[in-house]
């Protein structure tokens, strides 16, 4: 499952819904910058690191592509039933997120001043950066790699006390003890026994480090083609991607958002859709549906099936606009991004095909929603197979 926008498409809820059909749920990218919210009855659960299938009794896998923060993992396991630990397997190759990485995230953001990325400050970028420098500790390094000492020296040079570092190492060992293994090999084993694994992406396609709106992106790959690499499995094991899109657009942090809405309608959507970051609590920027961006994301991921989420939010909103193409320096274009400047300069060309105002979902898919499904299928060339119309697990319609 991949996000087709800038994250927060509602993947957490849908993973939880679909988990029933799988034997395991896996994370393959990102780290605790993610915030996956699952609502069951009155209870709201937000996961940052543990795969969203945690509450479904499924096997939980964290692939090598994930930046693992043992401190966050400890906190999440604390609020989950004890038996969850017994279902969790983490790849020993995961890069760790250290206290230094969190400090560095803040220092680098402050250095950028006005051009800050608006990161979650969870140390995710620095952790992947350390990996590229060959300085990151991996999860398995915690158990007996002499380089822990060398790393401690390095970290102390940049302001983390050596004792603080070693305390963190000890704490991290306690958290991960007995949980590490070869996740890729486990996936292949599950599959060969006839089982299946749901891979859940964190963030969205347009935040991909290579193909997103660089540099205003996250530090990992968020697209379907990263599943095999992030999990350590052959490409043929990754299966068919399901793309998730919200009926409008949101973005947290800086960077271009061509269809951004200014004024009261954006406040209304933010408030009805509860569009506040699950990790940082920041208000999300809100925009209209952007077909140019969506076509780009669908093409990159090779998505044929999509899930449409938060359709109920539009029931409260009188207006409904869809961006069908961009205008750049007087010329109409359907290219999502030729460059960062291009994406910053484009003006959306809108159409208002119908209104979603007043649609009710208590007795199945209302006519307005059917219109939207047909419209999306026709304009995006995909099949809409799921519609989500509320936070609760039960508010999902399969088509
Ligand atoms: P980082 O991933 O913390 O480095 O943040 C980089 C950019 O990605 C910022 O704009 C964040 O707001 C955004 N971001 C990171 N994780 C998420 C997520 O789970 N949902 C939405 N945006 C995210
Ligand atoms: Mg989120």
Q: What number is the average pLDDT over the span 164-191?
A: 95
DSSP labels, 298-311? HHHHT--EEEEE-G
Task: Give the position, in ligand 1's atom list, of the atom nearest the Cα of 36.
Answer: 19
Indicate which ligand has the atom closest to the C-alpha of 278: 2
Taking the C-alpha atoms of residue 135 and residue 127, their distance in angstroms, rounded to an integer, is: 9
**Ligand 1 atom 8: residue of nearest CA:** 218
Lowest mean pLDDT among 44-53, 88-97, 146-155, 381-390: 146-155
Task: Using the mean position of ligand 1's atoms as its centre, give its distance from the Cα of residue 8 in Å.
Answer: 10
Structure confidence at residue 345 (pLDDT): 96
Pairing outcome for strands 396-398 and 383-388: antiparallel
User: Is any atom of ligand 1 closer than 6 Å to the C-beta of 118?
Assistant: yes
User: Is any atom of ligand 1 closer than 6 Å to the C-beta of 34?
Assistant: yes
Question: How sure is the predictor about 85, in pLDDT bands with cuts at 50, 70 and 90?
Answer: very high
Q: What number is the average pLDDT over the span 197-223?
A: 97
User: Is any atom of ligand 1 closer than 6 Å to the C-beta of 203?
Assistant: yes
Lowest mean pLDDT among 25-29, 228-232, 296-300, 392-396: 392-396
- pLDDT of 112 strictly over 70: yes
Lowest mean pLDDT among 13-27, 83-97, 136-150: 136-150
Higher pLDDT, 136 or 307: 307
The tokens describing 13, both together, are: 């809820």
Across the chain, the runs of DSSP E, i.e. the strands, are: 2-3, 24-27, 36-40, 43-47, 59-62, 67-68, 88-91, 95-96, 180-181, 197-200, 242-246, 249-251, 285-287, 289-290, 305-309, 322-328, 331-333, 347-351, 383-388, 396-398
Q: What number is the average pLDDT over the span 216-232?
A: 98
Task: Give the position, in ligand 1's atom list, of the atom nearest the Cα of 220.
Answer: 2
Structure confidence at residue 398 (pLDDT): 95
Structure confidence at residue 171 (pLDDT): 95
**Ligand 1 atom 2: residue of nearest CA:** 218
User: Is any atom of ligand 1 closer than 6 Å to the C-beta of 104?
Assistant: no
Known catalytic residues are 8, 36
Question: How sure is the predictor about 41, in pLDDT bands with cuts at 50, 70 and 90?
Answer: confident
Task: Using the mean position of ligand 1's atoms as its centre, give its distance from the Cα of residue 204 in Å.
Answer: 9
Structure confidence at residue 257 (pLDDT): 98
User: Is any atom of ligand 1 closer than 6 Å to the C-beta of 131?
Assistant: no
- pLDDT of 357 strictly over 80: yes
Residue-wise pLDDT for 232-278, tens only, equals: 999 999 999 999 999 999 999 999 999 999 999 999 999 999 999 88
Q: What share of the chain has pLDDT > 90, as a percent?
A: 82
Q: What number is the average pLDDT over the span 71-97?
A: 94
Buried residues in 324-349 as b, exposed as e (16+ CB within 10 A):
bbbebeeeeeeebbeeeebbeebebe
Task: Using the mean position of ligand 2's atoms as its centre, give its distance from the Cα of residue 204 in Å.
Answer: 9
Pairing outcome for strands 88-91 and 59-62: parallel
Taking the C-alpha atoms of residue 91 and residue 241, their distance in angstroms, rounded to an integer, is: 23
**Ligand 1 atom 1: residue of nearest CA:** 119
Residue-wise pLDDT for 115-165, tens only, equals: 999 999 999 999 999 999 988 899 999 997 767 767 777 777 777 787 888
- pLDDT of 378 strictly over 90: yes
Nearest to 205 by CA among 246, 260, 261, 266: 246
- pLDDT of 355 strictly over 90: yes
Structure confidence at residue 313 (pLDDT): 97
Structure confidence at residue 118 (pLDDT): 96
Give me the chain's average pLDDT, please: 94
Structure confidence at residue 146 (pLDDT): 60
Structure confidence at residue 54 (pLDDT): 85
User: Is any atom of ligand 1 closer than 6 Å to the C-beta of 252?
Assistant: yes
Nearest to 84 by CA among 93, 92, 75, 97: 75
Task: Using the mean position of ligand 2's atoms as its centre, give its distance from the Cα of residue 33 in Å.
Answer: 8
């Amino acid at each position: 499952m991949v996000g087709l926008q800038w994250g927060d498409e509602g993947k957490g809820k849908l993973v939880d819904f679909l988990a029933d059909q799988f034997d395991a749920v896996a994370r393959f990218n990102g780290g605790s910058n993610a915030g996956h919210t699952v609502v069951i009855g009155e209870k709201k659960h937000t996961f940052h690191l543990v795969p969203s299938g945690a509450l479904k009794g499924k096997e939980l896998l964290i692939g090598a592509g994930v930046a693992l923060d043992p401190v966050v993992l400890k906190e999440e396991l604390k609020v989950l039933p004890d038996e969850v630990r017994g279902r969790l397997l983490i790849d020993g190759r995961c890069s760790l997120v250290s206290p230094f990485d969190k400090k560095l995230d803040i220092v680098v953001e402050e250095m950028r001043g006005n051009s800050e990325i608006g990161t979650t400050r969870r140390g995710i970028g620095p952790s992947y950066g350390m990996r590229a420098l060959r300085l990151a500790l991996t999860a398995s390094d915690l158990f007996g790699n002499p380089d822990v000492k060398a790393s401690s020296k390095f970290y102390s040079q940049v302001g983390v006390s050596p004792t603080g570092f070693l305390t963190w190492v000890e704490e991290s060992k306690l958290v991960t003890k007995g949980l590490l293994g070869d996740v890729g090999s486990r996936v292949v084993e599950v599959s060969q026994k006839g089982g299946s694994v749901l891979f859940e992406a964190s963030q969205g396609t347009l935040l991909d480090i290579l193909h997103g709106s660089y540099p205003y992106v996250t530090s990992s790959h968020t697209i379907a083609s990263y599943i095999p690499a992030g999990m350590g499995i052959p490409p043929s094991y990754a299966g068919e991607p399901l793309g998730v899109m919200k009926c409008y657009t949101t973005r947290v942090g800086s960077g271009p958002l061509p269809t951004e809405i200014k004024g009261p309608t954006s406040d209304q959507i933010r408030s009805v859709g509860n569009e506040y970051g699950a990790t940082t609590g920041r208000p999300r920027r809100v925009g209209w549906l952007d077909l140019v961006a969506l076509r780009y994301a669908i093409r990159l991921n090779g998505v044929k099936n999509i899930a449409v989420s938060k359709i109920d939010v539009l029931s409260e909103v009188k207006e409904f606009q869809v961006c069908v193409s961009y205008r750049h320096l007087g010329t109409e274009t359907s290219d999502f991004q030729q460059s960062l400047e291009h994406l910053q300069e484009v003006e959306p060309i809108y159409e208002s095909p119908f209104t979603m105002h007043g649609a009710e979902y208590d007795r199945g898919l209302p006519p307005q929603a059917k219109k939207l499904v047909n419209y999306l299928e026709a304009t995006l060339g995909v099949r809409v197979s799921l519609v989500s119309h509320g936070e609760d697990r039960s508010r999902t319609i399969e088509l």
